[in-house]
Chain A
């Protein structure tokens, strides 16, 4: 039966039953049903004589047995940060790659980037490792190293052809994300950045479920100034609240554009409702800063170069450094150690 349009399933229910699905029942649930997903399904007193009893009894119960394995695998990682946004194309991947470059400027730190955008992976291109493949050994999958201290994992490395479409439904995507966490030899990392696709669906629920046990430091929200984007970001903040993910801060990307000819500041994506700053205030979350729109950022991403190295004096670079510093402060880290000034 299709879900009713009137009453969407409460978010709390989805979050508390992360990966379990209601078994396919052959008859409607009886009045005193303990719930087909519950621990007592199929064994409770009221289950006697119910045509669903066998189905409910054999459905998998309890927490996912792989979660302790994931926790063990990730035990060497100090900080885990999610990069989220409800809206697509606001610069989640760009910001993730910039953040990775910023953290990696300290040669003492080791940084990992995990790309959970299965249908549109952008991280490999932005970090200049698009044509690499992963190596599988007896101990697990080795990530691709974009720099000496920057490891990357993405589905792009597993595709036979660069342009292949990944036409996968939810459960298959969840399986791959689990493998990224369980089977990849991340080793000892100072930071693991998790880039996500837009929306609030399978990928987000899975990342949250798998990482809950080993601890997530928090999430960075990325938005653009116009209300159409803020609308979706608001939903994502709502999701984080309900899932109990701490929000480390909100970044407003593509905020202003200075015409290179006449230096007239133009608002390309006009903040008719106050932009990211107003949203942060409204939702009571820290505002990390505004990053102006600089066509060279996009260019650096297309060529897989580090924007920090290529244009260290540009206003966008200075703004980004400010954002990284306030992020470090919100994580109670020393900004001077996270990103040393040269």
Chain B
């Protein structure tokens, strides 16, 4: 069983689509890696895999080795900087073209999920994060079944549930919490994503999808509320174009100015420096994102919950 070398398994779930499961998975992986843990991501969203795009690995192809399918390496461990390794596996790596539809019915998806859990060659890993499609159907039932059967009880740490604040979204995510209760998967906590957008021009914060819904839901179900994440367009620019996040001066995150350009540096120097940083691995660039410190706290919470 390939899961034997993995210490903790965390599922990232949401009943609703497009709330940021994949981006939360990505950030959780980057934060865990920054904290020095070795991390693997398994993307079981078979009909809409986003993880390859998130790491800029759309052209990567999986190779077969005697021990099973080899996951793709995003970056290796760098012990001098205290960064753990990060590897990913997704159906996206197995498709011939990026626009090709995967039209599969349930039984086929079930078989694929099982194969992903048993035939991928994972190395020694601290955390395996499993990114899921929306809903409570074939993929989720198969995941729960297989993990509850095959993983050791101490391996399956639990689920991080993602929601956006509006009622339409929490209504579906409530169903997912009930799914976890029914299948006996522990809920580590709820993350409220896309809560507020700070205008880059005037720093006015607008609640695009209202606010507070995730916290109310977490309290109602008696599960932990891990925190809320604002919308940061710089994060998606970093994902899509590989540019390091930059913020205008005076951008305050938790009372700390995270503006990137010191006033006395000439602009040419900044550009040259920025260009150099394009080559830097994603995990280094993520350090400069305004979401990194917020997610660092969430990650610390998750780690302490898992190890408790």
Contact = CB atoms under 8 A, between A and B. Distances in A.
Interface of A: 2-3, 5-6, 8-9, 11, 14-15, 21, 86-90, 93-94, 118-122, 125-126, 130, 162-171, 173, 197-202, 204-205, 224, 226-229, 231-232, 234-239, 242, 257, 259-262, 264, 266-270, 272-273, 293, 295, 298-299, 301-302
B105 A228 contact: no
A154 to B, nearest CB: 12
A202 B133 CA distance: 14
B16 A163 contact: no
B111 A5 contact: no
Given A125-B171, A268-B231, A269-B236, A165 B178 contact: yes
Contacts of A173: 137
A295 B240 contact: no
A269 B114 CA distance: 34
Interface stretch (B149-157, B205-213, B294-302): B205-213
Interface in B1-56: 15-19, 22, 47-48, 50, 53-54
Given A5-B62, A272-B237, A301-B166, A295 B103 contact: no
Contact of B175 (A119, A202, A270): A119
20 contacts: A3-B111, A5-B62, A5-B69, A5-B119, A8-B95, A89-B134, A89-B164, A165-B182, A166-B175, A167-B182, A228-B53, A234-B99, A238-B99, A264-B202, A268-B233, A273-B240, A295-B210, A299-B166, A299-B210, A302-B166
Interface in B209-231: 209-210, 231
A268 B16 CA distance: 20
B101 to A, nearest CB: 4
B270 interface: no
Interface string B163-180: 010111101101111110
B202 A163 contact: no
B276 interface: no
A267 B15 CA distance: 26
Nearest to A240: B101
Nearest to B48: A232
B105 A3 contact: no
B178 A202 contact: no
Given A264-B199, A270-B233, A89 B208 contact: no
A226 B199 CA distance: 18
B233 A266 contact: yes
Given A165-B178, A270-B233, 20 more contacts: A89-B134, A120-B16, A120-B134, A165-B136, A165-B182, A167-B140, A168-B136, A198-B47, A227-B53, A228-B53, A232-B50, A235-B99, A239-B101, A257-B208, A262-B199, A262-B204, A264-B199, A270-B240, A272-B240, A298-B209
Task: Report, nearest first, the 7 A-B pairs whose CB atoms are least far apart.
Answer: A88-B17, A89-B18, A170-B106, A119-B135, A264-B201, A199-B47, A120-B172
Contacts of A122: 168, 171-172
B75 interface: no
Given A119-B136, A269-B236, A231 B202 contact: no
